[in-house]
Amino acid sequence: MPAPSGRITPPHSGSGNKLAGFVSAISSQLENVSSGRGGGPPLSGSGSKAASTEEECARLHKELSRVKAELRMKDKQLSSTQKSMQVCEKELIALEQECKEKIEQVQQEMSVMQVDKSTDEQNFVQALEMKDKQVRAMKIDLDALAEAKDQYTTEITSLKAELANTVASKDTLWTSAASASNESEQLIVSLRSELQDMLTAMNNLKREYAESKTTMFSRQSQLESTNTELVNSVANLERELAKVRETTSASSLTTGGASTSVTSGAPQFGTNASFSSMNDEFRRVQQTLVLTKKSLHDESRKNEVQKQENIALTVEVHRLKQALETAQESSAQQLLATAQENQNLKEQVKQLSAHTNAAAAANSELRVQRLTNRLIEKQETIDSLRNRVTTMDVRLQDSQLRVQRAEEKLSRMEQNGGVDDMEMVTPIGKPGMMGGMRSRPNRMAHVISRVAPVVERSHRVLTALDVLDRWLLFLGRVFLQAPFARLGMLCYVVLIHFWVFMILSFHTSHLTEEMQLAEGAAIEPGEDMIPGGH
């Protein structure tokens, strides 16, 4: 029988070639057997040979049916493999397009990162320049603060000197106030002693004045009584003198001679004698009266003088009282003024010391607080600049690291022909690149090589494991990101298993039928039961 010509052998399948050769060999053997059997009439001694030939034909028919079944299965596997290869080619094309897009995206990111890097470098340089400027400004400020601190120290020293002078003046004022108070006390004591002496003298003068007044009144009463008596006596004498004068005038009017003179010689002599005695008494009384008037005038004058002296003494006493009161008031005022002045000086000294201390402390505290605040602000500025410089350093390092990673990724993708190991960032590489060696061991290949070291000897096996690992990782990431993909994959696996189960059951039933047909055909010799035969 001729070989079946309707079969398509897979181009790159060794088992299919072997099966095709095996089928052609069996067909040639069957043709040979048929040709030998269909020749001349059989000899009488060839019965056993015909039986063995029939058995061989039956065996070859069975083998041929089995090989045909395997060939059909290989054809189906080849068709499924070609379909999967087409799907893989489409996926490879899509992956290449995706890799190109990723390469373009990475190049754009690299350009953006380079721009960011240049911008960051410029910002870093500007920040460093700004930092240097601020450091110089801070140094200038620190110098100014040091000068201000020296000035404040000088001012504090001068304030301390002024405070010491104030304390010294306070002591001087205390001493002067104490001396003034002592002097005022001594003056008050002396004024009090003088006032006491003046009061004693005034009391003595009052007593003497009262005594002199009493004696003067008694003497005046005596003089008045004496004057009254003298007036009475003078009146009596005047009356008697008038009587005498009347008698003398009457006697002078009478004229007479000797008789008259003789008869009246004795009475006239008596009258002249009485008259002379009366004149003497009158003169004496007049003298006494004159003396009494003189003494009365003297006493009156003395009384007036004493009155004037009393008035002068009263005025003097009043003046002394006023002077004493004035002195007391002045001393009291001086004491009050001195006490007030002392109190004012004490308050001024306290206020001055407190104000000086408070002002100095407040100014010093305020200046120290201002300096501290300025130092804190400068330190915060320095810290912010340091943080900014650190941040820019980190950004620069991050940019450099990103650029380096992008360059490494790009170079690795270029080396791997646009394929990158997703899990271990391991370049897979094409055959012949990098001497056919991987830069680092793949996880799957490494694990399998531990179990079976013979795997490391085959570069194709390693490449297949790398591709399988890559596709598994890719599918794992897709399934991880898409729940519907996981559900679809589950349905696909279930359908594949169901389809395989159905195909296996179908082929098993057909194989059983073919075997039965082959057994039935083996009974009838000379018939060709091989499918596809002529």
Q: What is the pLDDT of residue 226?
A: 78
The C-alpha atoms of residue 339 and residue 393 are separated, in whole angstroms, by: 77
Write the single-letter amino acid at 498. F
Return the closest-CA partner of residue 275 out of 248, 239, 251: 248
The C-alpha atoms of residue 462 and residue 441 are separated, in whole angstroms, by: 10
Buried b (16+ CB within 10 A) or exposed e, 369-386: eeeeebeeebeeeeeebe
Question: Angle at the Cα of 268 (from 267 to 269), degrees rounded to 5?
Answer: 90
* Mean pLDDT to the nearest integer, 501-518: 82
81 close to 8: Cβ distance less than 8 angstroms? no
Q: What is the pLDDT of residue 37?
A: 47
3-state secondary structure of 438: coil
User: Which residue did the predictor score with more confidence, 194 or 260?
Assistant: 194
The C-alpha atoms of residue 467 and residue 419 are separated, in whole angstroms, by: 10
pLDDT digits (tens, 9 = 90+) for 29-88: 666 655 554 444 444 445 677 778 888 888 888 888 888 888 888 888 888 888 878 887
Q: What is the pLDDT of residue 19?
A: 60
Q: What is the pLDDT of residue 434?
A: 40
pLDDT digits (tens, 9 = 90+) for 463-484: 888 888 888 888 888 888 888 8
Instruction: Give residues with Cβ within 8 angstroms of 303, minimum separation 6.
Output: 216, 220
DSSP string, 402-422: HHHHHHHHHHHHHHTTS---T
pLDDT digits (tens, 9 = 90+) for 410-449: 777 666 554 444 444 444 444 444 444 444 444 676 677 7
pLDDT digits (tens, 9 = 90+) for 169-184: 777 877 877 777 787 7
Q: What is the pTM of this model?
A: 0.26
* Element of type H or E holding 377: helix 265-415
Q: What is the pLDDT of residue 139?
A: 83
pLDDT more than 70, % of the chain? 74
Residue 499: pLDDT band with limits 50, 70, 90: very high
Phi, psi values for residue 417, rounded to 5°: 70, 35
Q: What is the pLDDT of residue 241?
A: 75
User: Which residue did the predictor score with more confidence, 164 or 449?
Assistant: 164
Question: Angle at the Cα of 136 (from 130 to 141), degrees rounded to 5?
Answer: 120
Confidence check: pLDDT of 528 > 70: no
The C-alpha atoms of residue 285 and residue 231 are separated, in whole angstroms, by: 9
DSSP state of 4: P
Q: What is the pLDDT of residue 34?
A: 57
Domain ranges of the chain: 439-481
Residue 266: pLDDT band with limits 50, 70, 90: very low
Residue 497: pLDDT band with limits 50, 70, 90: very high
Range with the lowest mean pLDDT among 17-31, 61-75, 324-338, 494-508?
17-31
pLDDT more than 90, % of the chain? 2
Q: Which H, E and C letters describe 60-98, residue by residue? A: HHHHHHHHHHHHHHHHHHHHHHHHHHHHHHHHHHHHHHH
Write the single-letter amino acid at 96. E
Q: What is the pLDDT of residue 207?
A: 83
Q: What is the pLDDT of residue 257?
A: 46
The C-alpha atoms of residue 184 and residue 61 are separated, in whole angstroms, by: 163
Return the closest-CA partner of residue 396 out of 82, 153, 116, 71: 116
The C-alpha atoms of residue 68 and residue 435 are separated, in whole angstroms, by: 44
Return the closest-CA partner of residue 73 out of 501, 503, 499: 503
Return the closest-CA partner of residue 240 out of 274, 286, 290, 193: 274
Which range, 22-31, 383-392, 487-496, is most confident?
A: 487-496
Decide: residue 30, CB within 10 A, 0-12 exposed, 13-18 middle, 19+ buried: buried
- Measured from the Cβ of residue 355, the count of other Cβ atoms closer than 10 Å reads 13
Confidence check: pLDDT of 11 > 50: no
Q: What is the pLDDT of residue 305?
A: 77
User: In the structure encoding, which two tokens stand for residue 386, read together?
Assistant: 């340091």
Return the closest-CA partner of residue 134 out of 392, 378, 391, 373: 378
Give the helix ranges, DSSP H, for 254-263.
258-263
The C-alpha atoms of residue 487 and residue 276 are separated, in whole angstroms, by: 195
Q: What is the pLDDT of residue 36?
A: 52
Write the single-letter amino acid at 86. Q
Residue 500: pLDDT band with limits 50, 70, 90: very high
User: In the structure encoding, which two tokens stand for residue 450, read together?
Assistant: 């531990």
Confidence check: pLDDT of 371 > 70: yes
What mean pLDDT, rounded, does the chain reach? 73
